């Protein structure tokens, strides 16, 4: 674990360089205004030659088809294990992750998680840390904390356990101290707490799953409770190397997201809310473009793809390729896109340098910060 101590936090590096460098254009007035460097851009053709990373994948099968598809498209990825009560159980997800990572160490890494079943046991934190250490010994590189904390788990008094609960602090302290990256899926899209007619994209889903539609369950924590608990957790653990899954559950407002990125320098978010990003782009292309440029060190590409057993691996490959390529086209070109029920927009056409960070470098830095 000691090697990580010598590594300077990646997100602090540009600031210290700017302050210390004697040739910084900010300090050197004799140099005159810096020459405007022409931006360069990728094209659709560059897709297969540029190295890319998808930070949010769920491998629910030991089949190699997805990994092979990723290799073909020049993608490496992070497989995320989580503590969900449906589908492939957590222990099996982890077995799949260990096996796939052993078979394809150059193609992927995995994030482990911890069960909350023993929450009320006195030695919960101790046992959880021991379990995490075991996962790191088996190759895990990061940890996922899931929305069951905040939306399902209750203490012995029936009160919901939120992510800033002091009983989680020893575990988060351990991750913080050892620079072990944490991914947090805290809360849900804000839609979940709105009436169906006010939702942006989720009315179909929540309309048919009223049990998960929080607007109908005011006895559950509110949307603000979820965001506040996550913010409070980051306040308590300022050096935690954190990625907020799904744009940190602030998908509906770039302004609200920007506030958190400004407040918490070790927070990043994944982009696995593409329809929302496209809606922001449709509503205000320039603002969305500028947001991506301003926060280029804090945004990490990810899709939240569930990879299930595939009978037809060629169809899987085609499907994966089309989704990834469409996102690439959105970020690198200004080609037209259509957002059903909303209208037409054009791609963000981000400069190469920004694309390289969002698609690869930021995730690599974040993973490299870890001691495992
Ligand atoms: Zn996910």
Cα 184 to middle of ligand 1, angstroms = 10
pLDDT at residue number 331: 98
User: What is the Å distance from ligand 1's center to 356 Cα?
Assistant: 23
Rounded distance from Cα 225 to ligand 1 centre (Å): 21
Please enumerate in sequence order all residues whose Cβ is within 8 A of that of 328, keeping only pairs 6 or more positions apart, or say none.
Answer: 42, 44, 47, 52
Rounded to an integer, what distance in angstroms lies between the CA atom of residue 75 and that of residue 54? 7
Instruction: Indicate if the pLDDT at residue 9 is higher than 60.
Output: no
- The pLDDT tens digits of the residues spanning 64-96 come to 999 999 999 999 999 999 998 889 999 999 999
Q: Using the mean position of ligand 1's atoms as its centre, give its distance from the Cα of residue 74 in Å.
A: 21
Confidence band of 125 (pLDDT split at 50, 70, 90): very high
Distance from the alpha carbon of residue 14 to the mean position of ligand 1, in angstroms: 30
248, containing H or E segment: helix 245-248
**The CATH number, out of the four listed (3.40.50.720, 2.60.120.260, 3.30.365.10, 3.20.20.140), of the domain defined by the range 2-10+49-313+353-368:** 3.20.20.140
Going from the Cα of 340 to the center of ligand 1, the distance in angstroms, rounded, reads 23
Question: Domain boundaries in the chain?
Answer: 2-10+49-313+353-368
pLDDT of residue 8: 33
Distance of CA 336 from the midpoint of ligand 1 (Å): 28
Q: Confidence band (pLDDT; 50, 70, 90) for 327? A: very high
CA of 173 to the centre of ligand 1 (A): 24
* 54 C-alpha to ligand 1 centroid (Å): 12
CA of residue 42 to ligand 1 center, whole Å: 28
Q: Which residues contact 81 (CB under 8 A, 6 or more apart)?
A: 90, 93, 94, 97, 110, 111, 112, 113, 140, 144
Q: Provide the residue count of the chain.
A: 372
What number of other Cβ atoms are within 10 A of residue 36's Cβ? 6
SS3 143: strand
Q: Which residues contact residue 175 at a Cβ distance below 8 angstroms, ignoring those fewer than 6 apart?
A: 143, 181, 182, 237, 240, 241
For residue 346, count other CB atoms closer than 10 A to its CB.
Answer: 14
Residue 302 Cα to ligand 1 midpoint, Å, equals 9
pLDDT tier at 338, thresholds 50, 70, 90: very high
For the CA atoms of 224, 229, 230, 232, what is the dihedral angle to 10 degrees?
120
Q: What is the pLDDT of residue 32?
A: 57
What digits encode the pLDDT tens for the residues 176-212? 999 999 999 999 999 999 999 999 998 999 999 998 8
**Ligand 1 centroid, distance to 303 Cα (angstroms):** 8
Average confidence (pLDDT) over 2-21:
36
pLDDT at 141: 96
State the distance from the centre of ligand 1 to the C-alpha of 350, rounded, in angstroms.
26
State in Å: Cα 111 to ligand 1 middle. 11
Instruction: Count other C-beta atoms under 10 Å from residue 317's C-beta.
Output: 18
Measured in Å, residue 304 CA sits from the centre of ligand 1 at 5
Cα(56) to ligand 1 centroid in Å equals: 6
Cα(35) to ligand 1 centroid in Å equals 43
In DSSP terms, 268 is beta-bridged to 243
The predicted-structure confidence for 303-321, as pLDDT tens digits, reads as follows 999 999 999 999 999 999 9
pLDDT confidence bin for 37, thresholds 50/70/90? low
Quote the ligand 1 centre to 124 CA distance (angstroms). 24
Split at pLDDT 50, 70, 90, the class of 23 is very low
CA distances from 291 to 36, 137, 160, 264, 357 (A): 20, 38, 34, 16, 14
Q: Check whether 18 has a pLDDT greater than 80.
A: no
d(CA 272, ligand 1 centre) in Å: 8
Whole-structure pTM value: 0.89
Whole-number Å distance, alpha carbon 192 to ligand 1 midpoint, is 16
State the pairing for strand pair 142-145/108-112.
Answer: parallel
């Amino acid at each position: 674990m000691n090697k990580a101590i010598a590594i300077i936090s990646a997100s602090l590096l540009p600031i210290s360089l700017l302050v210390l460098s004697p040739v910084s254009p900010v300090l050197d007035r004799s140099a005159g205004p810096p020459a405007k460097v022409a931006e360069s851009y990728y094209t659709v053709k560059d897709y297969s030659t540029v190295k890319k990373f998808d930070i949010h994948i769920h491998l629910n099968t030991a089949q190699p088809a997805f990994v092979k598809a990723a290799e073909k498209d020049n993608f490496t990825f992070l497989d995320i294990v989580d503590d969900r009560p449906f589908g492939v159980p957590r222990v099996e997800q982890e077995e799949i992750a260990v096996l796939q990572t052993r078979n394809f160490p150059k193609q992927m890494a995995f994030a482990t998680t911890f069960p909350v079943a023993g929450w009320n046991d006195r030695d919960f934190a101790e046992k959880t840390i021991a379990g995490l250490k075991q996962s790191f010994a088996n190759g895990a590189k990061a940890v996922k904390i899931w929305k069951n904390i905040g939306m399902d788990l209750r203490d012995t008094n029936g009160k919901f356990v939120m992510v800033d609960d002091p009983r989680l602090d020893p575990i988060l302290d351990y991750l913080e101290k050892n620079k072990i990256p944490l991914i947090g899926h805290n809360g849900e899209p804000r839609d979940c707490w709105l009436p169906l007619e006010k939702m942006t994209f989720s009315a179909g889903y929540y309309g048919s799953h009223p049990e998960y539609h929080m607007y109908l369950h005011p006895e559950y924590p509110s949307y603000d409770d979820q965001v506040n608990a996550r913010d409070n957790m980051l306040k308590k653990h300022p050096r935690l190397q954190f990625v907020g899954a799904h744009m940190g559950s602030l998908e509906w407002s770039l302004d609200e997201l920007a506030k958190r990125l400004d407040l918490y320098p070790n927070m990043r978010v994944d982009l696995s809310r593409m329809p929302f990003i496209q809606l922001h782009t449709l509503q205000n292309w320039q603002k969305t473009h500028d947001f991506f440029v301003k926060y280029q060190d804090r945004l990490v590409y990810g899709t939240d793809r569930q990879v299930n057993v595939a009978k037809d691996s060629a169809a899987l490959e085609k499907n994966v390729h089309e989704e990834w390529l469409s996102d690439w086209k959105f970020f690198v070109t200004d080609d037209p896109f259509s957002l059903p029920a909303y209208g037409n927009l054009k791609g963000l056409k981000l400069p190469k340098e920004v694309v390289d960070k969002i698609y690869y470098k930021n995730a690599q830095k974040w993973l490299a910060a870890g001691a495992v």
